[in-house]
Amino acid sequence: MLVSGLISAVVWVADRGFTSAENRRYLRKGGNHYIIGEKLRSGSAEAEAALSRQGRYQEVAASLRVKEARIAEDERFVICHSPEGAERDAAIRARMIAQLKEAIDGSDALARDKRAELRGVISTKPGLNRYLRVTPGGLLRIDAARAKAEENLDGKYLLRTSDPKMTAEDIALGYRQLLEVERGWRDMKQVIDLHPACHRKEERIRAQVILCWLALLLARIAENACGATWPELRRQLDRIAVGTFAGPAGTFRQRTEISQPQQDILHRLGIDPPPKIYQLTPALSR
């Protein structure tokens, strides 16, 4: 909401790592509100209550459906469901179970200490360990009940908000913007070849937030200037490559020809095409 050019209220959007009660109270300061992702697989009372609520999903965007679950007085919960995400989750689970089956195949014939050793190895791999069941006799089995229960969660995620007025659609689309921010930063990390890192110091956390914002700003500027999505622009520009050629006279590096779609993107962004010849190294005379 804008009043006289000043921001009068802010809705913070955060992921599941920010969901503690203390953090939520902090985000409410100054009359602000929040949209925060919740862990559906946590087994929390709130997640269980939200999933147990009946009601129909509402289509709000391409491959996104939402359903509000009223389970608290001062907060609202929205279940989001993506059919594409459901297919992806099912495929990942099937792959994990197949890997686990391969890992424990023949383990019944192992000595008890060897099975325990194998159990310890699997416990270090959360994706596999989630579907492992150990019998009272120490045998390793696939937890079919766990896998069946998780089918109900495929493609779903839970959002918590303190805003009493936003529609379920706005809540879902607001959280999706956070996913766009994270996608932009992942793209930028690939470009500048940064490795994953966990930040604990405040100055590094602030730097991470600023870099994410700059990455999203860069993507948005490019999208608005070119009238295309950032993935579409990347697909076009990623086709510009540099090859190294060698001959009797020496070696040189030359880029590929710039296609018309690539020229249009560079022109709209105000960027000069990269030079055709990058490096020319004459052969050493004998």
Q: What are the sequence ranges of the domains in the chain?
A: 2-82+155-196, 84-151, 242-282
Where are any strands of DSSP class E within 31-146? 33-38, 58-61, 64-69, 76-81, 132-134, 140-142
Burial class, 2, CB count within 10 angstroms (exposed 0-12 / middle 13-18 / buried 19+):
exposed
Confidence at 55, pLDDT banded by 50, 70, 90: confident
Q: What is the pLDDT of residues 220-255, one digit of tens each?
A: 889 889 988 888 898 899 899 989 888 888 898 899
Q: What sign has the CA pseudo-torsion 219, 221, 222, 223?
A: positive
End-to-end, the C-alpha distance of the chain in Å comes to: 75
Q: Which residues contact 173 (CB under 8 A, 6 or more apart)?
A: 60, 61
Angle 148-109-140 from CA coordinates, rounded to 5°: 25
Q: What percent of the chain has pLDDT over 90?
A: 34
- CA distance linking residue 159 with residue 168, whole number of Å: 10
Quick one: the chain helix, strand, coil %, rounded to 5? Answer: 50, 20, 30
C-beta of residue 161 within 8 angstroms of C-beta of residue 27: no
Taking only the tens place, the pLDDT of each residue in 7-41 is: 567 888 888 877 888 988 898 888 889 999 887 77
148: left (phi over 0), alpha (psi -120 to 50) or beta: alpha
